[in-house]
Amino acid sequence: MTDLETDNLITVTRPEEIPAPYRGTPIGDLIEYHNLHRPFDPYDNAKLLVGMCMDSRKHLHMPENFAYIIRSGGGNLRHSEFKVSMAISAGVRAIALLVHTNCRMSNLMSRREAFITGLMENGGWTRDQAERQFDAYAPLFEIGNELDFVKSEADRLRRRYPKVIVAPMLYKLEDNKLYFVRE
């Protein structure tokens, strides 16, 4: 994360630092639970949809039944739209869209050889099979810069679901905290 990217983050260390559009919403509650260790409230039904990366290094501190979670490479929900629609049809009115630092889906094209080698060594694939897999799917799943991606994905989801609050956020692996992405 560069200094410029860090300047584009909003740090929350107290509830009053939550940006106004998210205060009193499930998104504000999420950051209070995760960053501020607010005691958990009981939930019978999910209030939030969290879209986040499948990366195993992240864990959210939140109550049971509070959120639906869709995990996909890079937090990319473009190919999970039906699942997003299901959550919204069930009553969810807020989406926390999380990217994280050091994501392997960021600048994916630079990881081509490592991907191919990994599939050959760990998956038993031939070089040709692995190359075809990467070349066919990497363009669909490449997210580029994490912060640019999460802002554009939040904009796309806001246009698609105009009654739903969507917050672009970053999970910093370095401190395990959530940050709002300045738009």
Q: Does residue 140 or residue 92 have the better pLDDT?
A: 92
Helix, coil or strand: residue 106: coil
Helix, coil or strand: residue 179: strand
Across the range 20-48, mean pLDDT stands at 97
Instruction: Tell me the pLDDT band of 3, cut-offs 50, 70 and 90.
Output: very low
Q: Does residue 3 or residue 51 have the better pLDDT?
A: 51
pTM here?
Answer: 0.91
Q: Dihedral, CA atoms, 164, 92, 79, 115, nearest 10 degrees? A: 110
59-96 pLDDT, tens digit per residue, is 999 999 999 999 999 999 998 999 999 999 999 999 99
Q: Smallest Cα–Cα separation from 83: which of 108, 29, 46?
A: 46
Instruction: Tell me the pLDDT band of 4, cut-offs 50, 70 and 90.
Output: very low
Ranking 65-69, 88-92, 103-107, 155-159 by mean pLDDT, the lowest is 103-107
What is the domain partition of the chain in residue ranges? Answer: 3-104+145-181, 107-142
Token pair for residue 46? 């999910």
| Helix H or strand E encompassing 48 | strand 48-52
Share of the chain residues as helix, strand and coil, in percent rounded to the nearest 5: 45, 15, 40
Q: What are phi and psi of 175, to 5 degrees?
A: -130, 0
The most distant pair of C-alpha atoms in the chain lies apart, rounded to whole Å, by 55
pLDDT for res 7: 82
CB 80 within 8 A of CB 71: no
User: Which option is the CATH number for 3-104+145-181: 1.10.1040.10, 3.40.1050.10, 3.40.1160.10, 3.40.50.720?
Assistant: 3.40.1050.10
Across the range 9-34, mean pLDDT stands at 97
Pairing outcome for strands 9-10 and 67-71: unpaired
Average pLDDT, rounded, for the chain: 94
CB 57 within 8 A of CB 71: no
Whether the predicted pLDDT of 180 surpasses 50:
yes
